[in-house]
Structure 1
Amino acid sequence: MNPSLESLSVTVLTALGTKVVRQVVALDELTIEVRAQDLRDVMMALRDNPGLRFEQLIDLCGMDYSDYQEGLWQGKRFAVVYHLLSINKNRRIRVRAFANDDDFPILDSMIPVWPAANWFEREAFDLFGVVFEGHPDLRRLLTDYGFVGHPFRKDFPVSGNVEMRYDPEQQRVIYQPVSIDAREITPRIVRVANYGDAA
């Protein structure tokens, strides 16, 4: 670990103590894992602590770990990963928090800490179904309002559940079950290399 990351790791542990469940260094960046119930307190400390000063939320993304490690993952299914930047200190950090419930994942909204979280949280809600408690306008961002399900979940069918089309007789858009036939992609010709007779 380079000295800058080691210094950041020590500062984070000093500021957050037992709220840090785990630390990992990968690709020259520190990732900390925190419990869902500690998330907002941790984020406020990362933003306000004079030794940290992570004043900017760059991105957040949902994660579905159901097929992670080829299905051998034993932990919680849904997590949200936050990417933070300290302009003041010229440092970056990732924060990961797992939702406590796999059937109905809920985490606190980070809008009170960083207003920029608004549309990022809407995207994670739309695509993964993570509910951000306290979000002022949590609704779909990328899919249609009538869309059923969350397309980035590992158990969502690749072809989807419904398709929409314009019906000229009814003069409106209608939804109907997917009409794509399942198919197996198999090459029609198998070529065998001919290397000639061995000498």
Structure 2
Amino acid sequence: MSAKLERLCQNLQQVLGGRLLGEPVLARGEVTVEVAVGDYLDVARRLRDHEHFHFDQLIDLCGVDYSEYNGRTGPRYGVVSHLNSVALNQQLRLRTFAADEEFPVVPSLVDIWNGVNWFEREAFDLYGVHFDGHPDLRRILTDYGFVGHPFRKDFPVSGYVEMRYDPEQRRVIYEPVSIEPREVTPRIVREGGYGRG
């Protein structure tokens, strides 16, 4: 570990102390910290404002469904933010988990980093994570009538409904999925003698 990353880990433990769930983790040249959802906003403000951090940019936020992640136990839906400090030239990955699997809720970071607005809308749309305090939480990538959240691991690959243009009605209509299941095993495997003379 470089001296710079080691110093960042030490500062995180000194300043944030008991708010961190475990010690900072170093992977792929970046430090990751995990916090409880109740401490998420306070920790984010400290990471932005404290003299040892100056994380003035949130460069990415994504939702994650950990339901089948390497035998991991614990909350299913997480939110991962990637922070950048221009002044100190350092990066940090901040992670928290929604407590309720049925209705995952995480506080919005819009008041801290305004640029997170559309990232949170994307996580809401694709994973169903609700961001408490977001000024305009609505779908951003799927249609308003879309059912479900397509990046959840239990979402069917074919979806629930399909849309098509109906020339008689002169509008787009939604119908139940009519895709026929197909054989995905290659023919050479499926038919033992295929291609042998």
Q: Under TM normalisation by the shorter chain, which class is it?
A: over 0.9
Deviates more, 1:76-85 or 1:175-184: 175-184
Residue aligned with 2:4, SS: helix
Counterpart secondary structure, 2:119: helix
Kindly report the root-mean-square deviation, in angstroms, between the aligned alpha carbons of the 2 structures.
1.2
Q: Which residue of 1 aligns with 2:89?
A: 90
Q: Percent identity?
A: 58
Matched, 1:189 2:188: yes
Corresponding position of 2:3 = 3
Partner of 2:148: 149
Residue type matched to 2:18 in 1?
Answer: T
Per the alignment, residue 38 of structure 1 pairs with 39
Give 1:70-109 correspondences, 5 Å limit: 72-109=71-108
Secondary structure class of the residue paired with 2:187: coil
Counterpart CA distance in 2 for 1:161 and 1:168 is 23
SS at match of 1:189: helix
Match of 1:164 in 2: 163
Count of residue correspondences? 190
The TM-score with structure 1 as length reference comes to 0.93
1:46 partner amino acid = L
Deviation at 1:106, TM superposition (A): 0.3
Partner of 1:18: 18
CA apart distance, 1:84: 0.2
User: What is the CA distance between 1:13 and its match in structure 2?
Assistant: 1.1
Partners of 1:57 and 1:113 in 2: CA distance: 9
Offset of residue 111 of structure 1: 0.3
C-alpha deviation, 1:60, in angstroms: 0.3
Q: What SS is found at the alignment partner of 1:39? A: helix
| C-alpha distance in structure 2 between counterparts of 1:188 and 1:126, whole Å | 38
Amino acid across the alignment from 1:162: V
- SS at 1:116 equivalent: helix
Deviation of 1:189 after TM superposition, in Å, equals 2.1
How far apart are 1:184 and its partner, in Å? 2.5
Looking at structure 2, the residues matched to 30 and 188 of structure 1 have their Cα atoms a distance apart, in angstroms, of 47
- Residue type of the partner of 1:16? L
Provide structure 2 residue ranges, at least 5 long, that are not aligned to the other structure.
none
Aligned partner letter, 2:187? R
